[in-house]
């Protein structure tokens, strides 16, 4: 956890892939009332936002039927869940970044939750729920909406005569003008954006992970040109690299180490508390003549293990994430800053009603794109992430790398014929 109570929101931490880290120790504990048939086990990643772990424990205690044991895990949580499902020792209920993977669904590891939604189905943000839906059946229920964005110090830009960047070329020029040696112009994470900007580098170029007919959508010269620009930015000396905390934490911007930072909506309360009105927000800028600004958005989805206590688990999930809209609003607003996953709750989210928070949240509606498509498998994500790293940090030729990724993606898509 950082000094600012902000966690690395894994749902938006990169490109939707899993790493190969081993199982990690639980940091949570027994927070529900014991049941005669044994407690339901509910797993979450370790939230760093102040009060979030306690809120999960409170929700479990308040469940009328009791018997829910909440555990939270640091590190590579998604890999831990995946390993537990394969071994048969998985939890009854778990959250997963952007909902379960297509492999979890097609292999029968997760339960169909369609019947839990009822009339509420149309209330969930369509793009979020679609990401957790396969062949018309729902396998995950979105909890909140998170997004990433560019945050900048207004005073620093004013002093340098820089306007908030609207294109990638303007972003590069702004970073150069704002670089004051001890204060760098821009922070995109300690890997120069290679592990976090995968989506926006496509969307802002006018491209996407997959085409509507399920083919690779990114082997394009506009994308390659954007990657060459990113490589130049990485070697320019204008980026902050090697910060104590990575992009998801606002510490670098707050400490004055950078004039602009790519981070998340969840970090804005801490930034606002430290810097007041001296901040503005922008989407990732347009790339090339065919591009437009963009931001990613995603959601942890609650999922039920098909090999667990399915009916009891589904009843708990329905109570928390469908029926109890008051708790859903609490989860969205009281621990960091997030957009409710249900459209009817957005007007009730008073923090988002006006000002900077409203401007930031509105980017989801105006230029937001779902983090990754359901058919973007972990193997595809790993291939793409590694290619971006080789280009941005290693100087590899972009078009050759994109073609190599496309060959991996094509083989993955063959496993899921339309």
3-state helix, strand, coil in the chain (%, to 5): 40, 15, 40
Structural domains for the chain: 40-143+299-323 (3.40.190.10), 148-295+374-414 (3.40.190.10)
pLDDT score for 7: 54
Q: What is the model's pTM?
A: 0.89
* Residue whose structure tokens are 């498509």: 373
pLDDT score for 11: 52
CA neighbor of 201 nearest in space, from 165, 227, 173 = 227
CA neighbor of 164 nearest in space, from 4, 296, 286 = 286
Mean pLDDT of each 10-residue bin along the chain, 418 residues long? 53 45 37 56 92 96 97 93 94 96 96 97 95 97 96 98 98 98 96 97 98 97 98 98 96 98 95 97 96 96 97 98 98 93 94 92 94 95 98 98 98 93
First to last CA, the chain: 43
Q: What are phi and psi of 163, to 5 degrees?
A: -95, 150
Q: Which two tokens stand for residue 336?
A: 């960091």
Long-range CB pairs of 163-167, under 8 A, 24+ apart, other chains included? 164/280, 164/282, 165/282, 165/285, 166/282, 166/285, 166/286, 166/293, 167/285, 167/286, 167/287, 167/291
pLDDT score for 418: 78
């Amino acid at each position: 956890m950082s000094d600012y109570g902000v966690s690395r929101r894994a749902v938006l931490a990169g490109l939707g892939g899993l790493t190969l880290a081993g199982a990690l120790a639980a940091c949570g504990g027994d927070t529900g009332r014991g049941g005669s048939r044994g407690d339901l086990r509910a797993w979450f990643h370790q939230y760093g936002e102040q009060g979030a772990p306690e809120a999960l424990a409170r929700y479990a205690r308040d469940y009328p039927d009791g018997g829910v044991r909440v555990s939270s895990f640091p590190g590579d949580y998604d890999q831990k869940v995946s390993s537990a499902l394969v071994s048969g020792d998985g939890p009854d209920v778990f959250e997963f970044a952007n909902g379960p993977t297509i492999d979890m669904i097609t292999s029968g590891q997760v339960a169909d939750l369609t019947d839990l939604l009822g009339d509420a189905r149309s209330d969930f943000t369509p793009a979020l729920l679609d990401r957790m839906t396969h062949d018309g059946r729902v396998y995950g229920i979105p909890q909140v909406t998170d997004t990433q964005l560019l945050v900048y110090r207004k005073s620093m830009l004013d002093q340098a005569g820089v306007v908030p960047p609207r294109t990638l070329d303007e972003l590069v020029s702004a970073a150069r003008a704002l670089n004051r040696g001890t204060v760098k112009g821009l922070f995109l994470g300690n890997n120069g954006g290679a592990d976090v900007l995968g989506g926006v580098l496509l969307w802002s170029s006018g491209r996407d992970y997959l085409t509507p007919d399920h083919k690779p959508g990114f082997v394009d010269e506009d994308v390659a040109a954007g990657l060459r620009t990113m490589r130049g930015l990485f070697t320019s000396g204008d980026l902050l690299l090697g910060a104590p905390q990575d992009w998801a934490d606002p510490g670098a911007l707050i400490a004055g180490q950078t004039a602009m930072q790519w981070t998340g909506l969840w970090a804005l309360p801490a930034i606002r508390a430290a810097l007041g009105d001296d901040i503005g927000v922008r989407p990732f800028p347009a790339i090339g003549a065919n591009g437009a600004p963009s931001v990613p958005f995603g959601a942890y989805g609650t999922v039920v293990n098909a090999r667990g206590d399915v009916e009891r688990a589904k009843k708990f999930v329905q109570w928390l994430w469908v029926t109890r809209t008051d708790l859903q609003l609490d989860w969205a607003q009281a621990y960091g800053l997030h957009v409710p996953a249900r459209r009817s709750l957005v007007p009730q989210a008073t923090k988002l009603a006006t000002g900077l928070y409203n401007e930031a949240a509105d980017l989801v509606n105006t230029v937001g794109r779902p983090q990754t498509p359901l058919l973007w498998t972990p193997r595809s994500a790993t291939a793409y992430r590694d290619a971006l790293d080789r280009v941005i940090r290693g100087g590899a030729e972009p078009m050759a790398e994109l073609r190599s990724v496309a060959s991996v993606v094509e083989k993955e898509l063959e496993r899921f014929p339309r």
